[in-house]
Homo-oligomer: A and B are copies of this chain.
Amino acid sequence: MPAYPGFAFDILHRDPASRARIGRLTTPHGTIETPNFIFCGTKATVKGVTPDQLRAERTDIILSNTYHLMIQPGAETVAAMGGLHKFMGWDGPMLTDSGGFQIFAMGHGSVADEIKGRRSQTREKTLLKITEEGAEFRSYMGGEKLFLTPERSIDIQRKLGADLIVQLDECTPFHVDRDYTAKSMRMSHRWGDRSLAEFERGGGLSANGLPQALYGIIQGGVYPDLRKESAEYTRDRPFFGTAVGGSLGSHKDQMVEVVGMCMPHIHPDRPVHLLGIGGIVDIFAGVEQGIDTFDCVSPTRIARHGWALMPGAKGERLNMRNAAHKQDPQPIDPTCDCHVCRTYSRAYLHHLFKAEELLGPQLLSIHNIATMNRLMRDVREGIRTGTLETVRKRWVCQG
């Protein structure tokens, strides 16, 4: 079993009223408190935001996507440039995913929508073939065939050099049946074993010689017995952390149910990451079930479309394109101390979006990042002081 030198996960406090907990996650690039939110720096950049701005808004940890980086600029280029931290100018903790989610999400053309509970859309399918060996798919850039195996994913993630890395899995869509889900899950478990073996062969070190830590993934769709089996699989293997992945059901209540199917059976002392979830109400639900970290593109994606996160607002956000803001001298959120709320009015943000100025998405991304970081600080304070329910009522619209 790998020792995961340079890494630790210490549970500092447990909420007596729920499974919520305060943790301290130590990596070679710094220590963060959990629960925490991991911002998506998909293609080696959090869209529209510099690392300096991330730090100014008290961001602790970001992630980047193996799938996108293996296509552009390629793992070899990132390694030649000294690894992802140096390449993109982020010196804090970082996670990379395995590439699985995007292969299957973009491949099936709809799984991402299903996982997020959105209506299915037609997209170009790029997934060519899934076999025991791995997944063949087409590059969305050049169109050439690419092949990703558990071993190749670990190799790429060694070259990228993030602190936390993730095993390859097949991310099954919601519409497949129980039989397919079960078979796919067991193949993902075999891929997990192959990932562990490859990780050990590499000495648990990145191409830069720094230690990395590997997460296993729980699959099993919406089936309680499969989720239990998968949670136990990850528990019984020497992973550093546990990720809850795959289809989390067709609506938000089912997400809570699916997470609930996993949590009693996971390794209790390891950090638990819930993949792709970032709504404020969902974060409270996840935290109360014992989730330690979350990630989602939504804070920066909705920012690019003019939405500002807002504690207590209906739908958790305000639309800055709304004409009501045209001459509103208030900051987006008078209770927010981010650069944007200290400097600009709603009227200015409204103007930037009406004028289709680049600065609009940039400033709203900064505000939404600051708001997620503030949310997670408030959540931790709520756990620490036994006031999580009070914190939830402040953040989640009670209407």
A355 on the interface (CB 8 Å rule)? Answer: yes
> Does A344 make an interface contact (CB < 8 A)?
yes
Taking the nearest CB of chain B, how far is it from the CB of A213, in angstroms? Answer: 25
CB distance from A258 to the nearest CB of B (A): 33
Q: Which B residues lie within 8 Å of A343 (CB)?
A: 51, 89
Of A41-49, A165-173, A238-246, the segment with at least 4 beta carbons within 8 Å of chain B is A41-49
Alpha-carbon gap, A23 to B134, bound state (A): 68
A selection of 10 A-B contacts at a CB cut-off of 8 Å is: A43-B355, A45-B352, A45-B355, A49-B359, A50-B359, A72-B354, A73-B326, A81-B348, A87-B345, A88-B348
> Does residue A324 face the partner (Cβ distance < 8 Å to B)?
no
A81, B50: Cβ atoms closer than 8 Å: no
- In the bound complex, residues from chain B placing their C-beta under 8 Å from that of A49 are 359
Instruction: Report the bound CA distance from A357 to B41 in whole Å.
Output: 11
A352 to B361, alpha carbons, bound, how many Å? Answer: 17
Which residues between 44 and 61 of chain A lie within 8 Å of chain B, taking CB atoms?
Answer: 44-45, 47-52
Out of B77, B345, B361, B363, which one reaches A327, CB within 8 Å? B77
User: Residue A351 at the B interface, CB < 8 A?
Assistant: yes
**Inter-chain contact B81/A329, CB cutoff 8 Å:** yes
**Chain B residues positioned under 8 Å from A44 (CB to CB):** 348, 351, 355
Instruction: Select A357's contact among B45, B326, B354, beta carbons within 8 Å.
Output: B45
Residue of chain B at shortest CB distance from A74? B326
Residues of A within 8 Å of B, CB-based: how many? 39
Contact A358 to B348, CB < 8 A, known contacts A52-B339, A339-B52: no
What is the copy number of this chain in the assembly?
Answer: 2
Q: Mark A319-345, 1 if CB is under 8 A from B, else 0.
A: 000000011010000000001000111
A221 and B72 CA atoms in complex are apart in Å by 50
Residues of chain B contacted by A279 (CB below 8 angstroms): none
Which residue of the partner chain B has the closest CB to A356?
Answer: B43
Q: Are B359 and A47 in contact (CB under 8 A)?
A: yes
| Smallest CB gap from A87: residue in B | B348
Contact (Cβ within 8 A) B43 A73: no
User: A197 contacts the other chain (Cβ, under 8 Å)?
Assistant: no
CA gap between A77 and B347 in the complex, in Å: 8
Report the bound CA distance from A47 to B82 in whole Å.
31
Contact with B along A361-373 (1 / 0, CB 8 A): 1110000000000
- CB <8 Å contact, B73 and A359: no
Chain B residues with Cβ below 8 Å from A17 are none
User: Which one of B43, B81, B82, B359 lies within 8 Å of A48 (CB-CB)?
Assistant: B359
Interface positions, chain A 85-99, Cβ under 8 Å from B, are 87-89
Interfacial chain B residues near A347, Cβ < 8 Å:
73, 77, 80-81, 87
Please, how many angstroms separate the alpha-carbon atoms of A150 and B356 in the complex? 29
Whether B326 pairs with A358 at a CB distance below 8 angstroms is no
Establish whether residues A47 and B357, one from each chain, have CB atoms under 8 Å apart when the complex forms. Answer: yes
8 smallest A-B Cβ distances: which pairs?
A: A48-B358, A73-B351, A45-B359, A43-B355, A89-B343, A45-B357, A81-B347, A72-B355
